[in-house]
Amino acid sequence: MPGFSDLNLRPELLKAILELGYTEPTPIQVQAIPLVLAGTDVLGGAQTGTGKTAGFGLPLLQRLLPHANASASPARHPVRALVLTPTRELAAQVEESLRGYAKYTGLRTTVIFGGMNMDPQTDALRRGIEVLVATPGRLLDHVQQKTLNLSQVEVLVLDEADRMLDMGFIPDVTRIIKLLPTKRQTLLFSATLTEDIRKLSDSFLNHAVMVQVARKNAAADSVKHAAIPVAREKKRELLSYLVQTRDLKQVLVFTATRLGANRLAYQLNRDGVHATAIHGDKSQPERLIALNDFKEGKVRVLVATDVAARGLDIEDLPHVINFDLPNSPEDYVHRIGRTGRAGASGEAISLVSPEERERLEEIEKTIRVSIPREMIPGFGMDSRSVSSLIPHAPHGESRRERGGDALSGSRRERPRDRDRPRSAPAQGARRAAAPADPIFLEPYRPAASQTPAMATALSDHPAARPAGKRAVQVAALLGGLRLKAK
Ligand code: AMP
């Protein structure tokens, strides 16, 4: 495996990454860096956690190095590289990484996203910057206000393009691309390389070269799964009981809806369990405060919807509780992707009402794990309902033998008040479809280890942004490659 010194990176960049503790390039970096340096368009199949930001960031900065200058004149610092991300948190994270890599280059970076005052962003743009990381909506707002000129962009990066697609951002992205010079380098990264992503790549990229890194399997073997059968109306009581009697700290609880998240947090507080809800209705500062309180242990339970939880940069979370089972098995995988990382043990408890039985079975099929049922005295249902939740045949082996039918189960529409905008009709959003990812067709192999850091992001949905029907999306929270930090 080549080292960083074999990748023809300039000393300014090597110095910065050495300081960051990067000693060896990750596989996506080995593959992408030479291509990006050569000016090639790249279609990258890699999820957050694989080191893809440096994979495109380092060569991108190197290509811009000739433009670096110390002039105070904004005209000498036009935007030359634009990185679009679907969410605010990812934008912030990517810019932070790029800023670190650019430390000794003299190139300026900044980030702009919705939910924050535009003025400081406008000031930064006016002063001039070479590398801009942005979410599409806020970027267009700045374009409209004429605080941003994109006519000198040389490199465009579309990060987590699958999520942009899912979230209905492609019309905005198309609008943005029309503002860029046609002669440019375009890099598109996506956790999954589905047919839709390839089509996007065909329309936005030019003779792109594809690079891809493998993803870790769905369910970490360090995660202990449990399903507790309970009547729907007793779930809240059971949750309080579990948190208190098992003395659970730092519990991330998932609900299906924002309303449900709010209500549950309120009720838990009433039960004496300090809880807060985090979802797309809350402002960005509110969410960051909630997250901080949770990380610092001031709040014991964080109640989240799937979309909101994508932005939570939390590692090694010991407990994830599914108050509502997710509608798609892939969301289950996303949810538990937060526990059991880096060898830490994690626990994923699902509170399962009789209505959710089918969903539980679909999850078991997908992750190829038979989730043990656990009965909690005092919270049982009548024996008929309970027996309906006990699997007739063990999952896993028998299903596997029948031949990888992980994707054949029916999918339901999500409830209307899920954590997404409802104002506009779905534009450019994919319909829920079975993911064509071969990972789900392969036999279950427990992951040997999990990535140390995996932060994805949450929705950047100002209410007016076009809504997208939630399409099935796979495993953005799953482990990427184990990164060596010496
Ligand atoms: P990314 O997938 O770009 O979000 O990166 C995931 C994490 O891995 C970030 O915390 C990076 O700082 C870190 N990282 C990226 N490349 C390397 C490397 N070559 N060695 C060690 N850590 C890395």
Q: Do 154 and 228 reside in the same domain of the chain?
A: no
Q: Do 168 and 270 reside in the same domain of the chain?
A: no
* Residue where a domain stops, chosen among 157, 190, 212: 212
* Residue where a domain stops, chosen among 360, 393, 426: 393
What is the residue with the minimal CA distance to atom 11 of ligand 1? 51
What is the residue with the minimal CA distance to atom 13 of ligand 1? 51
Q: Which domain holds residue 473?
A: 461-485
Q: What CATH number should be reported for the domain holding residue 152?
A: 3.40.50.300
**What's the DSSP call for residue 21?**
T
The confidence score (pLDDT) of residue 41 equals 97
The confidence score (pLDDT) of residue 293 equals 85
Distance 58 CA to ligand 1 centre (A): 12
List Cα–Cα distances, 19 to 11, 25, 412, in angstroms. Answer: 12, 14, 48
415 belongs to a structural domain: no
36 belongs to a structural domain: yes
The answer for 156, left when phi > 0, alpha when psi is -120 to 50, beta otherwise, is beta
Q: Do 182 and 309 reside in the same domain of the chain?
A: no
**What's the DSSP call for residue 342?**
G
pTM, two decimals, is 0.55
Q: Do 176 and 64 reside in the same domain of the chain?
A: yes
Q: Do 9 and 71 reside in the same domain of the chain?
A: yes
In angstroms, rounded to a whole number, what is the distance separating the alpha carbons of residues 403 and 358?
19
**What's the DSSP call for residue 447?**
B
In angstroms, rounded to a whole number, what is the distance separating the alpha carbons of residues 278 and 258?
8
C-beta separation of 471 from 40 below 8 A: no
The confidence score (pLDDT) of residue 215 equals 54
Q: Do 49 and 193 reside in the same domain of the chain?
A: yes
Q: Do 174 and 113 reside in the same domain of the chain?
A: yes
Residue at 276: amino acid letter: T
* Residue where a domain stops, chosen among 344, 371, 393: 393
The tally of domains found in the chain comes to 3
252: closest CA among 221, 278, 225, 285? 278
Q: Is 48 in the pocket of ligand 1 (CB under 6 A)?
A: yes
454 belongs to a structural domain: no
Q: Which atom of ligand 1 is nearest to the CA of 26?
A: 19
Q: Is 483 in the pocket of ligand 1 (CB under 6 A)?
A: yes
355 belongs to a structural domain: yes
Give the residue, out of 97, 163, 484, with the most ligand 1 atoms within 8 A of its beta carbon, to mutate for a pocket test.
97
The confidence score (pLDDT) of residue 213 equals 82
364 belongs to a structural domain: yes
Q: Do 184 and 262 reside in the same domain of the chain?
A: no
405 belongs to a structural domain: no
302 belongs to a structural domain: yes
86: closest CA among 280, 251, 351, 259? 280
Distance 56 CA to ligand 1 centre (A): 12
Q: What is the DSSP string of 417-429?
A: TSSS--SS---SP
Q: Do 358 and 238 reside in the same domain of the chain?
A: yes
Q: Which atom of ligand 1 is nearest to the CA of 20?
A: 12
Q: Do 155 and 237 reside in the same domain of the chain?
A: no
What is the residue with the minimal CA distance to atom 16 of ligand 1? 51
Q: Which atom of ligand 1 is nearest to the CA of 46?
A: 2
Q: Is 49 in the pocket of ligand 1 (CB under 6 A)?
A: yes
Q: pLDDT by residue for the chain (486 residues), tens digit each?
A: 789 999 999 999 999 999 999 999 999 999 999 999 999 999 999 877 789 999 999 999 999 999 999 999 999 999 999 999 998 888 999 999 999 999 999 999 999 999 889 999 999 999 999 999 999 999 999 999 999 999 999 999 999 998 898 888 999 999 999 999 999 999 999 987 888 899 999 999 999 999 988 654 344 456 789 999 999 999 999 999 999 999 898 899 999 998 999 999 999 999 999 999 987 677 777 777 888 888 888 899 999 888 777 656 565 678 899 999 998 877 787 777 666 544 456 789 999 999 999 999 988 877 778 899 999 888 865 545 555 555 544 443 333 323 322 222 233 333 333 333 333 333 333 333 333 333 323 332 323 332 332 222 223 333 333 333 333 222 222 333 233 333
64 belongs to a structural domain: yes
Q: Do 34 and 64 reside in the same domain of the chain?
A: yes
Give the residue, out of 4, 52, 53, with the most ligand 1 atoms within 8 A of its beta carbon, to mutate for a pocket test.
53
Strand partners, 111: 133
The confidence score (pLDDT) of residue 167 equals 83
Q: Do 174 and 311 reside in the same domain of the chain?
A: no
List Cα–Cα distances, 61 to 8, 14, 141, 182, 401, in angstroms. Answer: 13, 12, 26, 20, 50
**400-405: long-range contacts, CB 8 A cutoff, minimum separation 24:** 400/368, 400/443, 400/444, 404/440, 404/441, 404/442, 404/443, 405/365
